[in-house]
Homo-oligomer: A and B are copies of this chain.
Amino acid sequence: MTSSNDAGAPSARTLVKRYRHLAHYDRETIDAILDAMPVAHIAYLHEGQPIVTPTLQWREGDRVYWHGAAKGRMMRATEGADVCLTVSILDGLVLARSAFNFNVNHRSAMLFGKAEAVTDPKEKIRLLTRLVNGFAPDQWDKLRPATESEITATAILSLKIEEASAKVRSGPPEDNESDYAHPVWAGVLPIRLTVGAPEPDPRNSPGVAAPDLSGYSIG
Complex contact B180–A188 (CB within 8 A): no
19 contacts between A and B (CB under 8 A): A18-B69, A43-B43, A43-B84, A49-B82, A49-B84, A52-B86, A93-B216, A95-B136, A95-B139, A97-B144, A98-B143, A99-B129, A99-B143, A100-B153, A186-B203, A189-B213, A191-B218, A192-B196, A193-B194
Q: Is residue A137 contacting chain B, with contact meaning CB distance below 8 A? A: no
Closest 6 interchain pairs by CB? A43-B52, A190-B196, A43-B43, A41-B41, A54-B88, A43-B50
Q: In the complex where A43-B52, A144-B98 touch, is A199 in contact with B208 (Cβ < 8 A)?
A: no
Q: Is residue A202 contacting chain B, with contact meaning CB distance below 8 A? A: yes
State A86–B42 Cα separation when bound (angstroms). Answer: 10
> How many chain A residues touch the partner (CB < 8 A)?
98
Q: In the complex where A50-B43, A51-B84, A191-B195 touch, is A143 in contact with B184 (Cβ < 8 A)?
A: yes
Complex contact A84–B191 (CB within 8 A): no
- Name A residues whose Cβ lies closer than 8 Å to a Cβ of B: 13, 17-18, 38-39, 41-47, 49-54, 56, 68-69, 72-73, 82-86, 88, 90, 92-93, 95-100, 102, 104, 106, 108, 110, 112, 128-129, 131-132, 135-136, 139-140, 142-147, 150, 153-154, 172-173, 175, 179-205, 208-211, 213, 216, 218
Interchain nearest-CB distance for A137 vs B (Å): 12
